[in-house]
Structure 1
Amino acid sequence: MKTSDKTIYKNMSLCSFGNGANLTAVDSKDGKVVRMRPVHYDEHYTKEDLNYWTINAKGHTFEPGMKTLNSPFTFIYKTRTYSPNRIPFPLKRVDWDPNGERNPQNRGKSKFERISWDEATDIIASEIKRIDETYGRNSIFCQGDGHGETGSIHGPHGTMANLLDMTGGLTMQARQPDSWEGWYWGAKHAWGNEPLGQNTHQHNLFKDISENSDALLFWGCDPETTPWGWSGQQASRLCFWFTEIGVKQIHIAPDVNYANAVHSDMWIPILPNTDAAMQLAIAYVWMTEGTYDTEYVKTHTDGFDWFEYYVLGNEDGVPKTPEWAEEKCHVPAYRIKALARYWAKHNVSIGHCNGGSYIRSCYSHEPARLEVYLLAMQAVGKPGRNQVKFIEWALIGMDSFNPLPPGHFLPEVRACYHGSVLGELPASFIPKTLVPQCITVKEGEKVEWYGHTTSRHHRTDQFKHFQFPQDGDHGIKMIWSDSPCWSTCWNGGNEFQDALTNPNLEFFLVEHPWMENDTLFADMILPISTTLELDDFGVDTYSGQFNSVIWEEHACDHQYESLSDYEAVVEVAKKLEKFGGIYEDCASHLTGDMTVEEWQEIGYRGSGIPEDEQDLELIKKQGYQMLPTREGWDKEPAGMIEFYEDPDNNPMETPTGKIEFYSTGLANFFPDDPERQPVAKWIEESESHHERISCERAKDYPFLLVSNHPRWRIHANFDDCPWTREIETCKVVGEDGYAYEPVWINPVDAEKLGIKSGDIVEVFNERGTVLGGAYVSERIIPGAVLQDHGAETDPIVSGVGGIDRGGANNLIAPSNTSSKNAAGEVTGGYLVGVRKCDINALKEKYPEAFDTQYYTAETGTNVYDYLQEA
């Protein structure tokens, strides 16, 4: 029974672009959202219409179901649209005067005042013109990338990049591989597998695992959590299915995560970022016991003798035995041997949900390459022996299921859409991991690195040298951001906060729906609408059920004075037109002189649905259109079977066409790099990092931090949701009534520290301190602590050496990248100390920071706390 006078359909993948999953029915009444619910496909389609697929294995049947498998975040999203933290109108920092003193040192401290859209867009247009004429267009830095609300026309990211590009240029922030850093910087050099470096041959892998695998290793992976923001609950259903048909699930991780707790047949606890030691020991067992596939290694790989020479200790005199590894990773030698022997005798595949802390730490390219080596030693591609990429994004590589292009519109349509970032990076760009250094670089100096760093560049791109600023340029003078969560989601967040107060930066403009994270440091803020307020066009290709295209209508009116990213940038473009010259008609060029509905029609026409199956009137009336399963999908080759059966005619994307234990590319371009050598190795420490428990710093900071994809957020989204904040493992309410980000501590460590569950604790190192609420549990290995990443910043003291009450631990992550020639992020597996916090002493020392409690246990931030006059 419907409770609304209107039902519209939305693509509620909340960490994507125009694609994703979570087709959702939204009921609205009197212009307000009253309920969000699953879509029942059988309201409009029969199983025959959808060519209903099944997987049959071992006497059981897995089927997709006829109802969407939405993420919990889908149903609570309206609390974000109606959040007390919504930015209601344009804001300007009270002591930032574009015609006078700009006071950059007060960013993050000063409050804001209300201004009109007319005044805001006048200032923005004038600043663009001033900076262009004074310093050149490359001094305008566009932060328009990353995770955001799903959108196509209005777009989550990059609209302003299109405007700046068409009117003279910009410096662009290059989107990092982030969740798969190690695969990108490491695995590509072992087996290619463009574009991401993780296994790209996904067709029918879950069918193959169901029919042929004995076990699935979830290595640093939580398929009950990570998929929520992208694709919903299908990964969870698959884990129950594997149990039903007897496929063992073995979890290797420092923590008993949520999938581990429900589904695992075995948990192998391991210290964070020590997986490489265990992997080397497994290889040692296979080599010394002769239990790897020697024939496959001869015919499908190259350079194995180099790896064998190292593992057996001939290079450094240290055999990589299970006993050696036990000291590094704290996994008992007997357990390493048992896993190695089981693996050698059974069909084993490996599953990942991007990899978690496992793949986003210092030297993360080493465990990524070593995993490829182990797979190769057991004949990867053989039925039942594969690596499953992005279990959270698609069931079986959806391009093999449906005719719709996986993930995006056709290229010619994508190029027209306002929310897409530039297809090719401009000459002036900055890797996301190096932004703080590039903001603060001094006149005449350069920041240097290798590779564009974006995940879809070819492996050989990592050998290209780049620098910022370009010759003749003057560095960053203005930042325009529609993704203001750098300090919360990237490495060295405190250093970034300090960079934002650097006098080099003359104007920091943010457009965003909520007052959170980097938005607190802005000079001007534009209020942006949420997806529920907008007409748009969506594509659902990640659900693991069926593909669909969605004609999205708005479910409620624009809240307050908000506009979409697209609409806001168009308003700026209109003001630029008054300057003439390169700005003439820029608003017209940006919109194409078309309405939103006309753009929706372009999206539908170019979505990839065969022309004879398109029905514009149907999708407008029905709200969405399903696509049937591709005929013959179950007959297509599974995984890497073609490489397994015929490597010569189905080569890998490496220089030799084989899986390379010895990377010829790294040997040629970085022959003297001790941190990323031609053969993957155990790196204890180096000039880039001192983050091992064996190093001198560990005397002061003895714990390794696990920083996973959060259970109750999607990266930095949803931290202020009152419905989830009630959950014990979401927040720990301290003695002062504040809702703290949980810090998991093993009882053995907690007893030594004098900490009990519910205590307020400090997680710290020389880079700063973040607070948290103690959650004492055996679900975390001794010697490690866990605090999920993405909590909203709540600075007591900002910048390096500062204190954050919100628990945003990326603030104290290392600033250095994966290694000196690999510009990946390092946001987990680093050293910290833990101690009980005297919150009253902090209040006495920093009374001004506690004058207003920005975060309450119930609702999080209230935007009016940040205004000069509420």
Structure 2
Amino acid sequence: MSEQIFTNCTVGGPVFVHVNDGRIVRVRPIRLDESDPEAWKIEVKGKIYSPPRKTTLSPFVLAERNRVYSEDRVAYPRKRVDFDPDGDRHPENRGKSPYVRISWDEALDIGSKEIKRVQGTYGPAAISALTSSHHNWGNVGYKRSAFGRFFNLLGFTDVFDNPDSWEGWHWGSIHTYGYYWRLGCPEQYDLLEDAMKNSELLVFWSHDPDSTRAGYSAQESAIWRVWLKELKKKQIFIDPFCNYTAARMADKWIAPRPGTDAALAEAIAYVWLEDDTYDKTFVDGRTLGFDPFKRRILGKEDGVKKTPRWAAEITGVSAAVIQALAREWASKRTMLGCGARGGFGSACRQAYGHEWARLMVYLQAMQGMGKPGVNIWAGVLGAPMNARFFFPGYGDPIGRITGDGNPDHVAKKTAVNPVKQRLYRLLFPDAILNPPVHWLGEGFCAQSIEQQFIPYTYPMEGHPEIKLFYRYGGSFIGTMTDTNKWVQAYQSPKLEMIVNQSVWMDPETKMADVIFPACTSFERNDIAMFSETGGYSNHASSGCNYRVVVYEKKCIEPVGESKSDLEIFTLLADKLGFRDDYTDGGKTEEDWI
């Protein structure tokens, strides 16, 4: 058979997938041709800058073929050898015992009977389900779509995500500049052109743009930093590690001890106050509460002046370097880049990381944030774009199949979870092992600042503890904090049944009683836009040089007996008696697309 080429899209960019005799032979970036729209152009000092006529990929996408055919693929339904749903379950052996292959009928029968048993015995709140932070790309197959519709119709104890990529910005900077729509992260619109035309200095603090790529935007922005270098924009990197972008682009690398970034920031503010080099007009006319901050920096409250010498002992950066950095920053129109989307960075994901995030806002406010060339810009978003063109991301209600009854949305049947009990992802093991647990905030608090102060308790009064846990893709063992607790929770007899639906045999997959094998996005149909997440991160496609909407074509048949997530949930809904509601009256995969 001659080679076939299919379009698809991954978390790391859109691709052409080459298939020969039913097997993927290579994956490559998409090249644009004459039929595609022209590229945007930015003119600086008489020279036109415009991106190449192709898309780029994150490095890991080049290994997608290997991931599809990985020896760790879950190709068939499996059951733990010492798990008997009608007898001994041996939860203490989760993660230890091997598995035996079973049929889809047996797997779905066990799953559906256990769901019915737990619902009937304890109530729907005794069922909980949890997704990974990210998933295979595609609006129909994404976690908020096929998964969300199924469990909202079923009813379950939902688990709030924590903003693990930008904790400090979410819990800190929001209370500094009052901006919660992006969960604490700053806007990035049109800042590439602003930086190229107006900035003189770029400070990348806890930021490695060539590696983090705005999350989903591949290597689209790499050429921007080449242009900025050509335009003589000095680049300073502040990071304990001489990261990959710094190794290639840095004019100066400053390495504070891990966890000491806040002290460095306070010392910079001290120099500006002493030198009188901050923007008083902006501070007086566009900020509130500056005087208490000033008093703290000058040591009026605690008797400790936050001088460069004071910070040097904490950070390991010499007082002379701190002073030189502060003075150069104040003397030039400076863009500050803090992590993958302007408000990320490892400095915000450590103890008291919210203080660093708040200080980043303070520093740029002192220099007149929003003036030409002065802003918080990650250098990976903010390309020119036509915001009048809309295509939904997975975070948009219209971009997923859950539906809210709005006739503009793709689903007519509303799928709203009737269960009010909630859990917080970081507290999941403690909730299983040592309930009750208490916390403040709804996880992603993007509707109001006040959401951060809503109190929650698990279990809610009159609600059962979780008895059946459905894990959907990915693994937090090794990525979350104190993950030995996750193992202990999985092995607790309080969890009577665990289902895992996954593509690969991840660490958490090995904790399941029954495993449902899912296929990759190369083995199903879907649709999505390159890098467009929607929702709280709307217009994330501005991290790309082109806005590319991809019909993700099924390139090969699913490996083994794996199935698409949509098909698995459809079959399970059929066993549970709500297939018609789940499919919204019989919609197929293509109908949803």
Match of 1:570 in 2: 570
Query: CA shift at 1:192, angstroms?
Result: 2.1
Match of 1:97 in 2: 84
Given residue 31 of structure 2, which amino acid in structure 1 is its aligned partner?
A: H
Matches within 5 A, 1:420-819: 427-442=420-435, 446-540=436-530, 541=532, 542=541, 544-577=544-577, 586-592=578-584, 593-600=586-593
1:30 aligned onto 2:28: no
1:414-451, CA deviations, whole angstroms, 9 ceiling, x for partnerless residues?
34479xx9888952221211111112134xxx211111
**Does the Cα contact within 8 Å between 1:93 and 1:111 map onto a contact in 2?**
yes
Q: Taking structure 1 as reference, are residues 529 and 73 closer, same or farther at Cα in structure 2, changes over 3 Å only?
A: same
1:78 aligned onto 2:65: yes
**Does the Cα contact within 8 Å between 1:91 and 1:115 map onto a contact in 2?**
yes
Match of 2:351 in 1: 362
Distance 1:200 1:452 in 2: 20
**Does the Cα contact within 8 Å between 1:131 and 1:140 map onto a contact in 2?**
yes
Distance 2:348 2:391 in 1: 28
1:187-235, CA deviations, whole angstroms, 9 ceiling, x for partnerless residues?
1101122223444432210100111111111111111111186111122
1:187 aligned onto 2:185: no
Match of 1:252 in 2: 238
Aligned length: 570
1:156-182, CA deviations, whole angstroms, 9 ceiling, x for partnerless residues?
456344223213x10111122211111
Q: What percentage of aligned pairs have identical amino acids?
A: 36
Distance 1:233 1:411 in 2: 28
Distance 2:418 2:547 in 1: 30
Distance 1:484 1:505 in 2: 19
Given residue 275 of structure 1, which amino acid in structure 2 is its aligned partner?
A: D
Q: Secondary structure at the match of 2:284?
A: helix
Distance 1:596 1:35 in 2: 26
Q: Taking structure 1 as reference, are residues 109 and 550 closer, same or farther at Cα in structure 2, changes over 3 Å only?
A: same
Match of 2:195 in 1: 209
Match of 1:140 in 2: 127
Distance 1:42 1:524 in 2: 48
Q: Taking structure 1 as reference, are residues 145 and 109 closer, same or farther at Cα in structure 2, changes over 3 Å only?
A: closer
**Does the Cα contact within 8 Å between 2:129 and 2:156 map onto a contact in 1?**
yes
Which moved further from structure 2: 538-547 or 521-530?
538-547
Distance 1:284 1:407 in 2: 43
1:309 aligned onto 2:295: yes
**Does the Cα contact within 8 Å between 2:519 and 2:562 map onto a contact in 1?**
yes
Distance 1:172 1:4 in 2: 48
Query: CA shift at 1:475, angstroms?
Result: 1.3
**Does the Cα contact within 8 Å between 1:145 and 1:158 map onto a contact in 2?**
no
Query: CA shift at 1:59, angstroms?
Result: 4.3
**Does the Cα contact within 8 Å between 2:151 and 2:417 map onto a contact in 1?**
no
**Does the Cα contact within 8 Å between 2:241 and 2:255 map onto a contact in 1?**
yes
**Does the Cα contact within 8 Å between 1:158 and 1:422 map onto a contact in 2?**
no
Match of 1:264 in 2: 250
Given residue 41 of structure 1, which amino acid in structure 2 is its aligned partner?
A: L
**Does the Cα contact within 8 Å between 1:441 and 1:475 map onto a contact in 2?**
no
Q: Taking structure 1 as reference, are residues 181 and 406 closer, same or farther at Cα in structure 2, changes over 3 Å only?
A: farther
1:287-314, CA deviations, whole angstroms, 9 ceiling, x for partnerless residues?
1221111221111111111111111112
**Does the Cα contact within 8 Å between 1:176 and 1:455 map onto a contact in 2?**
no
Given residue 315 of structure 2, which amino acid in structure 1 is its aligned partner?
A: C
Q: Secondary structure at the match of 1:476?
A: coil
Q: Taking structure 1 as reference, are residues 511 and 409 closer, same or farther at Cα in structure 2, changes over 3 Å only?
A: closer
Identify the match of residue 404 of structure 1 among 379, 382, 390.
Answer: 390
User: Could you state the TM-score of these two structures normalised by the residue count of structure 1?
Assistant: 0.63
Given residue 239 of structure 1, which amino acid in structure 2 is its aligned partner?
A: R
Given residue 525 of structure 1, which amino acid in structure 2 is its aligned partner?
A: I
Distance 1:481 1:93 in 2: 15
Q: Taking structure 1 as reference, are residues 487 and 435 closer, same or farther at Cα in structure 2, changes over 3 Å only?
A: same
Matches within 5 A, 1:28-427: 28-42=19-33, 44-45=35-36, 50-156=37-143, 159-167=146-154, 169-227=155-213, 230-351=216-337, 352-354=339-341, 355-389=344-378, 391-392=379-380, 394-396=381-383, 398=385, 400-401=386-387, 403-405=389-391, 407-408=393-394, 411-412=397-398, 414=400, 415-416=402-403, 427=420
Q: Secondary structure at the match of 2:323?
A: helix
Task: Flag as ranges the 4+ runs of structure 1 deviating above 6 A.
Answer: 421-425
Stretches of structure 2 that go unaligned for 5 or more consecutive residues are 404-409, 533-540
Q: Taking structure 1 as reference, are residues 339 and 410 closer, same or farther at Cα in structure 2, changes over 3 Å only?
A: closer
Query: CA shift at 1:558, angstroms?
Result: 0.8
Distance 2:48 2:90 in 1: 65
Which moved further from structure 2: 232-241 or 400-409?
400-409
Stretches of structure 1 that go unaligned for 5 or more consecutive residues are 15-21, 578-585, 601-870
**Does the Cα contact within 8 Å between 2:256 and 2:315 map onto a contact in 1?**
yes
1:574-631, CA deviations, whole angstroms, 9 ceiling, x for partnerless residues?
1112xxxxxxxx111111202222222xxxxxxxxxxxxxxxxxxxxxxxxxxxxxxx
Match of 2:537 in 1: none
Q: Taking structure 1 as reference, are residues 269 and 412 closer, same or farther at Cα in structure 2, changes over 3 Å only?
A: closer
Which moved further from structure 2: 218-227 or 490-499?
490-499
Distance 2:449 2:279 in 1: 27
User: Could you state the TM-score of these two structures normalised by the residue count of structure 2?
Assistant: 0.92
Match of 2:11 in 1: 13
Q: Taking structure 1 as reference, are residues 279 and 397 closer, same or farther at Cα in structure 2, changes over 3 Å only?
A: farther
Query: CA shift at 1:455, angstroms?
Result: 4.8
Q: Secondary structure at the match of 2:209?
A: coil
Query: CA shift at 1:257, angstroms?
Result: 0.8
Q: Taking structure 1 as reference, are residues 359 and 216 closer, same or farther at Cα in structure 2, changes over 3 Å only?
A: same
Q: Taking structure 1 as reference, are residues 157 and 109 closer, same or farther at Cα in structure 2, changes over 3 Å only?
A: farther
Query: CA shift at 1:113, angstroms?
Result: 1.1
Q: Taking structure 1 as reference, are residues 397 and 116 closer, same or farther at Cα in structure 2, changes over 3 Å only?
A: farther
**Does the Cα contact within 8 Å between 1:72 and 1:228 map onto a contact in 2?**
no
Q: Secondary structure at the match of 1:480?
A: strand
Q: Secondary structure at the match of 2:548?
A: strand
